[in-house]
Amino acid sequence: MLSELVTFRNWLRRRSPHASTHRHYIYDLVRFFDWCDKPPNAVSVRDVDAFVLHCQAQGHAVATVNRRLAALRAFYAFLDLVSDSAPDQPVIPRRHFIYQGRCLPRDLQDQDIARLFSVIGDPRDRAMFLLMLRCGLRVGEVHALSLPDLFLVPRPGFLPRLWVTSKGAHQRVVYLSPQSLAALQLWLSHRPDIADPAVFLSRRGRRISVRTIQARLAAYSHLSDVSASCHQLRHTFARHMVEAGMPVTSIQRLLGHARIRTTQVYLHISDGQLQADYQEAMETVSHRLALPARGAA
């Protein structure tokens, strides 16, 4: 690995010790420099042009290409920060970043949720995935949960809750539904009594990794014949809250979104008012212009 990348990785770790940014950025940067086969001070704007075309030819998703460009741009911004003779920034946003239209979140249908959870019998796994489905936790947040983050027996008038550490080391409070609370308590009654403070442990008695959580869900998805990801469980939580009439600002706080715009996208996948307006308008149109039955003269 290039010495500059090692320095950049160490800086990212020191700046955000709880984040996984350093792993993702270095992964993307190693691939760029392996492909480019040039030192950082020799990379040009045209090299980035060619890299974007290469990624597109390989069939990479728009989000993947833009993420790699963001990592590269951040790397050169870091070099400019620490060096008086830093190379020019080769990533020009308006030239290189690919426009990505707004994509609606892909949630799971309720019948698929029922099929999926019908095959999840392991107490640990059921608790992990119910925290995503009923509390909206990200997979990384489930991984990071520690025993001191649990407040399962609150004082009167308060709900059981979790202290969740989200992106950027921000903390938020997440409340537990009766279903998720029961699943969590069942797992804690089975959890080995060891010194590690992690709520969810691997078979080796260590904090379970994000990849292992994802692999467990993939196995259950295969078993139930339901295509599901951890983030889809979180999306489904948001849809359920919208359908239940919860204000979008409250959903934003539960999900830990920094911007209300991020949360508002869920209004588009379950907009009861829009559905009612469409139904009323279509009934009016259908009565005014009734189409002949198929095959009628």
pLDDT digits (tens, 9 = 90+) for 182-196: 999 999 999 999 989
Q: Which helix (H) or strand (E) holds 138?
A: none
- Give yes or no: 38 in active site: no
User: Is 278's pLDDT higher than 80?
Assistant: no
* Active-site annotation holder among 25, 76, 220, 266: 266
Q: What pLDDT is stored for residue 296 in this prediction?
A: 53
Q: What pLDDT is stored for residue 160 in this prediction?
A: 94
User: Is 297's pLDDT higher than 60?
Assistant: no
User: Is 8's pLDDT higher than 90?
Assistant: yes
User: Is 295's pLDDT higher than 70?
Assistant: no
Helix%, strand%, coil% for the chain, nearest 5: 60, 5, 35
State pLDDT tens for residues 49-69: 999 999 999 999 898 999 999
* Active-site annotation holder among 68, 234, 239, 240: 234
* Active-site annotation holder among 60, 161, 172, 231: 231
* Active-site annotation holder among 96, 138, 143, 191: 138
The C-alpha atoms of residue 72 and residue 52 are separated, in whole angstroms, by: 12
Q: Residue 21: CB partners within 8 Å, gap ≥ 6?
A: 12
CB of 162 within 8 A of CB of 264? Answer: no
**Residue burial 89-113, b: 16+ Cβ < 10 Å; e: rest:** bbbeeeebbeeeeeeeeebbeeebb
Q: What pLDDT is stored for residue 235 in this prediction?
A: 93
Q: What pLDDT is stored for residue 294 in this prediction?
A: 67
- Give yes or no: 167 in active site: yes
Q: What pLDDT is stored for residue 175 in this prediction?
A: 94
Q: Which helix (H) or strand (E) holds 261?
A: helix 260-264
For each of the domains in the chain, give its residue range(s) and CATH number, in order of start.
3-96 (1.10.150.130), 110-268 (1.10.443.10)
pTM for the complete prediction? 0.74
> Tokens in use for 183?
């699943």
- Give yes or no: 231 in active site: yes
